Amino acid sequence: MENEQELIRQIEALTRIGIALSGESDINNFFKMVLEEAINFTNADGGTIYTLSEDKQALDFTIIYTKSMNLHLGMADTAQWPSVPLYDDKCNKLFKNFASYVAHTGKPSSVEDAYDQDIFDNSGTKNYDSKNNYHSKSMAAIPMKDHENELLGVIQLINAYDDKGNITHFTEEHLTMLTSLASQAAIAFTNKNLVEGLEKLLYQFIKSIAAAIDRKSEYTGGHIKRVASLSEMLADVIQKDSNIYKDIHFTPDELQEISLSGWMHDVGKITTPIYVRDKAKKLETILDRIEIVKTRFDMISALIYKDIEFSKTQKQKEELIKLHDKLMDDKEFIIKVNTGGEFMRDEYIERIEEIYNFRYEANGKKYHLITEDEKKNLCIRKGTLLPEELEKMWEHALVSHEMLSELTYPKKFKNLPLYAVSHHEKLNGKGYPFNKTANELPLQSRIIAIADLYEALTASDRPYKKGKTLTETLRIMAFMIKDGEIDKDLVELLMDSKLYLKYAEEFLKPEQIDDVDIEAIKGIYNK
């Protein structure tokens, strides 16, 4: 009856351990739990768990526990302990250590007296005992194997005790129960490694996709990496804030979700045409058509010179010279407006219209300076993109949503699509792709949005603009706060924590880093 109750207790313990192991995320606690239960099963004084080294050439100390010596060392503590080699220089198997013996044989084993056996070389055991005033006697070791019967590690126990406190041997029953425990531990460990491996693969895949998107453009390489970095920095600062965000504490999984969202925020740009994404000048398509326009100006200039030479009257000559001078002024003007700026004035639009309507007649032919399509592009009010090109650029957010929503994520990353694709949404509902409002945009989405905006304003590798100074950047963000577009608290945290400067010192050019009057910046939206 007593044996039956003990068996039931052990089965219940194994079941409890299996459940606990499968749910334990901390690898140090995982091995601690395994070793403690192994010691409890056998009433041993202590034990060690070894795990197979990455190169599979040795057993690494992972955790050590000896009750009588009050020795309890975790993974960090055992990192400096010498590993147990499994092979010599000629790749021959080494059996001289008890753990290496069990690792190679693949079978549970025990010895009644470490000083009186011929299974392994006990010199190392004697040396340890001598240095630590300890006496190793009975020992047991059980291999941990995965579902493919590949070695994962070894559980080794030392000095089993009987009910009277005397050192006794490890029984066959002990080895059977320890084998069951090792099997459960191996399954849980394998699953844990598999999950971690899949998550690592996901992260590596995401980073490789992001790098490919950045490399697609010769101008914007590094944008995604910088946005991800700044998102991580902001999340870290929020963790440490003792004011506005004092009640916000991201878990490690939530921090990783923010990081991954930063890496994936522009995945939709994989479908954005390069001629749109890299349109540095208004007239640029495959090439910058300004060269064609300049050729037309030069050709008409040559025709005017010829007509000046053969002018019949002084008045006609003076009028042609005046026309030529204006032509040269118009040429410089067109070259200037071909570079997109913040805003095109009405008088510039009118002047482009006049240049478009200009015709010069010579040799019975009429010559023009710019075509209708060139006029349309030159009249772009802000930047270098036409409305239809802007729509194509904005489309990347919707494509990102479609791509990311199709993927299946671990439960802890279920919000990744929302956070990633919201970086162009605005708190006032005037953003894209879904016109979300403030109450629909969680803090994580706002973090990615601020990181993307700050990076875009300061970036010096854009083909259509120079990177702005810190003052210019923060002034623009202040006006966006005033217009209800972005999160005031996050921008103030960016400024008050000096993160704006820390980022600048790492990523910006020295000439962009100026002295910022933070109070003046805040005054823009606090009026």
Q: What confidence tens digit (pLDDT) does each residue in 250-302 have? A: 998 899 999 999 998 888 887 877 777 777 788 888 678 899 999 999 999 99
On the CB side of 356, CA atoms within 13 Å amount to 15
Q: Which residues have a Cβ under 8 Å from the Cβ of 391 and sit 6 or more positions away?
A: none
Task: Calculate the CA dihedral of residues 114, 119, 120, 123 and round it to 10 degrees.
Answer: 40
Residues 47, 141: Cα–Cα separation, whole Å: 9
pLDDT of residue 312: 83
Q: Does residue 43 fall inside a structural domain?
A: yes
Write the CATH number for 498.
1.10.3210.10
Of 267, 47, 53, 55, the C-alpha closest to 174 is: 47
Q: Does residue 208 fall inside a structural domain?
A: no
This prediction's pTM: 0.65
Residue 394 and residue 371 share a domain? no
SS3 161: strand
Residue 150 and residue 18 share a domain? yes
Residue 391 and residue 374 share a domain? no
**Which residues of the chain register pLDDT less than 70?**
1-27, 74-76, 78-79, 194-195, 197-198, 214, 216-221, 286, 342, 461-465
Q: Which domain holds residue 81?
A: 2-195
Give the count of beta carbons closer than 10 Å to the beta carbon of residue 506: 11
Residue 117 and residue 25 share a domain? yes
Q: Which residues have a Cβ under 8 Å from the Cβ of 207 and sit 6 or more positions away?
A: 263
Of 189, 105, 109, the C-alpha closest to 141 is: 109
pLDDT of residue 179: 84
In this structure, are residues 273 and 232 in contact, taking their beta carbons and an 8 Å threshold? no
Residue 505 and residue 401 share a domain? yes
pLDDT of residue 22: 55
> Residues 298, 331, 334, CA angle at the centre, nearest 5°?
135
Write the CATH number for 99.
3.30.450.40
Q: Does residue 203 fall inside a structural domain?
A: no
SS3 168: strand
Residue 508 and residue 408 share a domain? yes
pLDDT of residue 470: 95
Count: domains in the chain:
3
pLDDT of residue 221: 56
Residue 309 and residue 244 share a domain? no
pLDDT of residue 2: 47
Residue 391 and residue 260 share a domain? yes
In this structure, are residues 395 and 387 in contact, taking their beta carbons and an 8 Å threshold? no
Domain boundary among 321, 350, 378: 378
In the chain, count H helices and then E strands.
20, 10
What the block records as the tokens of 478 is 């202040």
What the block records as the tokens of 474 is 């923060």
Q: Does residue 212 fall inside a structural domain?
A: no
Residue 457 and residue 337 share a domain? no
Query: Mutual orientation of helices 499-507 and 470-482 as an angle, nearest 10°?
Result: 140
Q: Does residue 211 fall inside a structural domain?
A: no
Cα distances (angstroms) measured from residue 424 to each of 22, 346, 435: 40, 29, 9
In this structure, are residues 455 and 226 in contact, taking their beta carbons and an 8 Å threshold? yes
Residue 149 and residue 41 share a domain? yes
Domain boundary among 131, 161, 195: 195
Residues 354, 362: Cα–Cα separation, whole Å: 19
Residue 37 and residue 184 share a domain? yes
Q: Kindly give the residue spans of alpha helices, DSSP state H, lying in 217-284.
A: 223-240, 252-264, 274-277
What the block records as the tokens of 505 is 């010192």
User: For residue 38, which phi and psi values (nearest 5 degrees)?
Assistant: -65, -40
Q: Does residue 25 fall inside a structural domain?
A: yes
Domain boundary among 343, 378, 413: 378
Q: Does residue 366 fall inside a structural domain?
A: yes
408-448 pLDDT, tens per residue?
877 888 999 999 999 999 999 999 999 999 999 999 999 99
In this structure, are residues 334 and 378 in contact, taking their beta carbons and an 8 Å threshold? yes
Q: Which residues pair with 143 in a beta bridge?
A: 154
Q: Does residue 522 fall inside a structural domain?
A: yes
In eight-state DSSP terms, residue 29 is: H
Residue 110 and residue 61 share a domain? yes
